[in-house]
Amino acid sequence: EEINLYEYPPDSQLVGDGCGGVWILCTTNKDEGGSESRLWHVNKHRERDMYEYPKRSKMVGDGCGGVWVHCPTNGRHDRMWRLWHANLHIERDMYDYPKGSIIVGDGRGGVW
């Protein structure tokens, strides 16, 4: 049975969290025209506006409730992007990876 819970812009990025929820990276009304998007976490009980990332970001679910985000970060060389890990409790700036890298969640909290 399909249930309509929330609405997001058509160009939103969505990835499953592996625990019944979804991470959504999208532009919100307050961001329109800017270079940043908001990262939301939603499930059938609630939606939470969590963090901010550049619109060009790439993301994958970690399979354990979190998300990996690969994005340009202020003050960094343009050829190297940062890999961030976020969950419902904390956001961490983790590693440098080349801009064109392909990231894949391992389903156990990690990323390749």
Predicted pLDDT at 32: 61
Report the distance separating Cα 64 and Cα 33, nearest Å: 33
Name residue 86's amino acid. A
pLDDT at residue 6 in the model: 92
Q: Where are the domains of the chain?
A: 13-98
Per-residue pLDDT of the chain (112 residues; tens, 9 = 90+): 888 889 999 999 999 999 999 999 999 776 566 678 999 999 999 999 999 999 999 999 999 999 999 999 876 667 899 999 999 999 999 999 999 999 999 999 999 9
Residue 76 confidence (pLDDT): 67
3-state secondary structure of 79: coil
